[in-house]
Amino acid sequence: MSQIRSVVLGCGSYLPARILSNDELARSVETTDEWIVQRTGIRERHIAAPGEMTSDLALHAARAALANSHVQADSIDLIVLATSTPDFTFPATAVTVQAGLGITRGAAFDLQAVCSGFVYALSVTDAMLRTGMYKRALVIGAETFSRILDWNDRTTCVLFGDGAGAVVLEAQEQPGTTADRGILTTHLRSDGRHKSKLYVDGGPSSTQTVGHLRMEGREVFKHAVAMITDVIYDAFKATGTSAEDIDWFVPHQANKRIIDGSAHKLGIAPEKVVMTVDRHGNTSAASIPLALADAVADRRIKRGHLVLLEAMGGGFTWGSAMLRW
Ligand code: ACO
């Protein structure tokens, strides 16, 4: 039976101009390029310029996604922006992007699920498109994590970077099989018992400050692979697919060891894994759309390919999405 699916029309991304290398970081905190590369796979990350805000990054990425999709901004009736580093406590960064694009109809809101934000945003948007409420959506992941890092804490400041990525989704009638284009399944999970393992020690209601990122890195690492693979098995089960059917695995880019460990456990071949963590660091909600845009731009991901996404992050939150490009 035919079914409405959320089909990707195109994607785009943006990285701030300034690149911060491991060697440069090693001049301000006690670390080395060798330690960072060995433990994380990260070589460099991009850092937003003074005054450059999350909405600026998001707007660049959104414009690139619209151009890649060959659609006009005023055809968008829904904007969902995943971020943990909004411009302001309110209004939502999404409405700044909406205004920047000159859109005056439909809805725009932010969604916060830390590193899982983009997968959460895709899932929520997919549900809204499939009900017929909206027709064409921009889903954006945008972050300026450099603003919430403690630059004296070598255990966290070496891991993160700034950036933004976006996709345009359109509700389209499809035959209703796993050969359909569009989002085939999404799976979201969270477990708040882990909330103090990765958090920001400030906020409007608690400290009236923005705060800094704090993390028990080893604890996060310990749970990551099991949670990621668990929710991917849910996606395989829901679609009747397996690792061999996947054309591209585009994981949240937190750490090369977590990505390699997850792919190995799932039986996904290394050449099918899209990896940008070496150049981008962990850009939280922006990492997946940044990686997607990379793999689309260099023509690895093509129309008809089966693409598997996953993310895990603060909360803990985690999730997967499978779609046919
Ligand atoms: N440079 C040099 N030494 C360092 C650094 C650094 N930047 N950071 C920590 N160390 C030291 C520690 O102080 C410790 O020294 P000690 O043995 O003298 O006490 C030593 O290195 C080992 O520290 P560990 O924390 O045990 O190092 P580990 O091998 O666990 O690696 C890391 C740390 C990279 C953070 C790892 O735990 C990890 O990848 N965790 C996952 C965290 C993550 O990716 N979070 C992102 C958000 S969540 C997500 O997106 C999935």
pLDDT digits (tens, 9 = 90+) for 9-67: 999 999 999 999 999 999 999 999 999 999 999 999 999 999 999 999 999 999 999 99
% pLDDT > 90, the chain: 100
Note the pLDDT of residue 182. 98
Question: Which residue of 255, 260, 276, 288 sits with most ligand 1 atoms within 8 Å of its CB, as the best mutation to test the pocket?
Answer: 255
Could you tell me the CA-to-CA distances from 76 to 104, 110, 167, 181 in Å, in that order? 10, 16, 12, 20
For the CA of 115, the nearest atom of ligand 1: 50
The number of distinct structural domains making up the chain is 2
**Cα 285 from Cα 50, distance rounded (Å):** 21
| DSSP reduced 3-state for 214 | strand
Q: Determine the distance separating the centroid of ligand 1 and the alpha carbon of 155, expressed in angstroms.
A: 5
CATH number of the domain enclosing 257? 3.40.47.10
Could you tell me the CA-to-CA distances from 20 to 23, 116, 160, 161, 179 in Å, in that order? 8, 24, 11, 9, 42
Q: Looking at the structure, do residues 111 and 166 belong to the same domain, yes or no?
A: yes
Q: Looking at the structure, do residues 20 and 142 belong to the same domain, yes or no?
A: yes
Q: What is the mean pLDDT of residues 232-261?
A: 97
For the CA of 224, the nearest atom of ligand 1: 51
Which of the listed residues 118, 153, 174 is the one where a domain comes to its end? 174
| Closest by Cα among 325, 288, 30 to 164 | 288
Q: Looking at the structure, do residues 187 and 305 belong to the same domain, yes or no?
A: yes
Q: Looking at the structure, do residues 156 and 266 belong to the same domain, yes or no?
A: no
Q: Looking at the structure, do residues 149 and 50 belong to the same domain, yes or no?
A: yes
Task: Please indicate whether residue 307, judged by its CB atom, sits closer than 6 Å to ligand 1.
Answer: no
**Cα 237 from Cα 264, distance rounded (Å):** 19
Angle in degrees, 0-180, between the axes of helices 54-69 and 287-297, rounded to the nearest 10: 30
pLDDT digits (tens, 9 = 90+) for 277-317: 999 999 999 999 999 999 999 999 999 999 999 999 999 99
Note the pLDDT of residue 109. 98
Q: Looking at the structure, do residues 142 and 188 belong to the same domain, yes or no?
A: no
**Cα 129 from Cα 103, distance rounded (Å):** 18
Which of the listed residues 142, 174, 206 is the one where a domain comes to its end? 174
Q: Looking at the structure, do residues 254 and 237 belong to the same domain, yes or no?
A: yes
pLDDT digits (tens, 9 = 90+) for 56-109: 999 999 999 999 999 999 999 999 999 999 999 999 999 999 999 999 999 999
Note the pLDDT of residue 298. 97
Which of the listed residues 123, 153, 174 is the one where a domain comes to its end? 174
Q: Which domain holds residue 81?
A: 3-174
Q: Looking at the structure, do residues 147 and 240 belong to the same domain, yes or no?
A: no
Q: Looking at the structure, do residues 190 and 164 belong to the same domain, yes or no?
A: no
Q: Is the whole model's pTM more than 0.95, yes or no?
A: yes
Q: Looking at the structure, do residues 281 and 138 belong to the same domain, yes or no?
A: no
Q: Looking at the structure, do residues 311 and 214 belong to the same domain, yes or no?
A: yes
Q: Looking at the structure, do residues 222 and 241 belong to the same domain, yes or no?
A: yes
Cis peptide before 221 (omega within 30 of 0): no
Q: Using CA of residue 152, residue 43, residue 119, residue 196, what is the dihedral sign?
A: negative
**CA 212, chain centre distance (Å):** 20
> For ligand 1, atom 11, which residue shows the shortest CA distance?
155
What does residue 87 show for φ and ψ, rounded to 5 degrees?
A: -60, -45
